[in-house]
């Protein structure tokens, strides 16, 4: 029985690219559904699938998260995972489709829930914007803000895995603060300054496909420049612009894009190659450093066992592999 993948918006459900991809369950927004009805919806999913992984973007209204947490608490169920993602709307929809594809394999619910953080590092999500003055989800430098007032200014913005902003049509771009994505759970930020000589968006070093969603901005930059620069071999696919995209990017003058791993077999191999652990709190399987169901972090690794060749004589400072007693003095080298 596959694990159910649920979403908080219909915009997060993309058409399947391979046959047999499980559908996603769309949970109605709290303003259109009573709490009792939301409880009944979740009970039906649990009865049919056993476990439910709900993908909820961090940019979703607070009422959406509150409703999900209330449903999980009232049902007293440990079979509901609430997965948050910082990806922009189109990138989040790609992530949901990848989780749906993986749900057709034999992965346990815990692996599916924790795999979302891993997969997000392999989705290059961005947009071409007519303005960055209201962009809140990606760090914007003062220089980019000032250049945004120039007539006809367009910006190529990468939200993840490493945030970056480049002004199009200029010989030098300005990059805002970037977040390193090296490592599964890295969240550190580094600062990068202006670059000269025609800076470009940092692209993937693996084969991807590109998905576009067009807003009110008239530009072919993603297909004429980004595709050859990122060496994307396949055709460019298009989807309707998610309703939440203008709010996420701060403008309706945009073309949103996402480059991603298209082959489910590659996704399966990627997730299978990560070491599996057992959550010490709820007992679910997980990959990475945090459980996808209860959010408990992995406990720190146990210290290595002591060297059997050493011999402890007391709690004092060590000298030559032995612990000196409280009254002993450390030997000093003779003066020359």
Coil, strand or helix: which one is 228? helix
pLDDT in tens, the chain (336 residues): 689 999 999 999 999 999 999 999 999 999 999 999 999 999 999 999 999 999 999 999 999 999 999 999 999 999 999 999 999 999 999 999 999 999 999 999 999 999 999 999 999 999 999 988 889 988 876 555 545 545 567 999 999 999 999 988 643 333 333 333 333 433 333 333 333 335 789 999 999 999 999 999 999 999 999 999 999 987 899 999 999 999 999 999 999 999 999 999 999 999 999 999 999 999 999 999 999 999 999 887 767 677 666 554 444 444 433 333 444 444 444 434
C-alpha angle 57/94/213, rounded to 5°? 95
Q: How far apart are CA 58 and CA 87, in angstroms?
A: 8
Q: How far apart are CA 212 and CA 190, in angstroms?
A: 29
Q: How far apart are CA 282 and CA 276, in angstroms?
A: 15
CB 249 within 8 A of CB 135: yes
Q: How far is CA 99 from the centre of its chain?
A: 12
Cα-Cα end-to-end distance for the chain: 79
């Amino acid at each position: 029985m596959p694990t159910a993948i649920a979403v908080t918006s219909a915009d997060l459900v993309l058409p399947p690219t391979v046959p047999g991809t499980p559908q996603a369950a769309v949970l109605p927004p709290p303003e259109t559904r009573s709490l009792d009805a939301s409880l009944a919806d979740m009970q039906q999913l649990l009865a049919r699938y056993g476990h439910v992984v709900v993908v909820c973007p961090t940019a979703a209204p607070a009422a959406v998260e509150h409703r999900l947490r209330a449903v999980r608490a009232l049902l007293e169920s440990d079979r509901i995972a609430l997965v948050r993602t910082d990806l922009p709307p189109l990138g989040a929809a790609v992530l949901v489709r990848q989780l749906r594809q993986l749900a057709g394999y034999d992965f346990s619910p815990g692996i599916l829930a924790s795999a979302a953080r891993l997969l997000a590092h392999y989705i290059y999500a961005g947009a071409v914007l007519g303005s960055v003055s209201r962009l809140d989800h990606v760090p914007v430098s003062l220089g980019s803000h000032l250049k945004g007032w120039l007539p006809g200014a367009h910006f190529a913005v990468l939200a993840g895995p490493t945030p970056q902003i480049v002004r199009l049509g200029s010989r030098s771009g300005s990059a805002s603060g970037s977040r390193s994505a090296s490592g599964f759970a890295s969240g550190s930020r580094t600062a990068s300054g202006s670059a000269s000589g025609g800076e470009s968006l940092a692209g993937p070093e693996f084969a991807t496909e590109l998905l576009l969603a067009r807003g009110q901005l008239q530009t072919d930059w993603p297909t004429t420049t980004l595709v050859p620069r990122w060496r994307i071999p396949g055709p460019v696919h298009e989807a309707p612009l998610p309703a939440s995209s203008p709010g996420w990017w701060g403008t309706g003058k945009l073309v949103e894009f996402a480059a991603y791993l298209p082959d489910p077999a590659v996704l399966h191999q990627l997730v299978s190659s990560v070491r599996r652990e057992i959550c010490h709190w709820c007992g679910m399987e997980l990959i990475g450093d945090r459980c996808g169901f209860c959010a408990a972090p992995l406990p720190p690794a146990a210290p290595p066992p002591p060297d059997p060749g050493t011999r402890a004589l007391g709690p004092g400072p060590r000298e030559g592999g032995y612990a000196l007693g409280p009254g002993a003095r450390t030997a000093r080298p003779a003066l020359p």
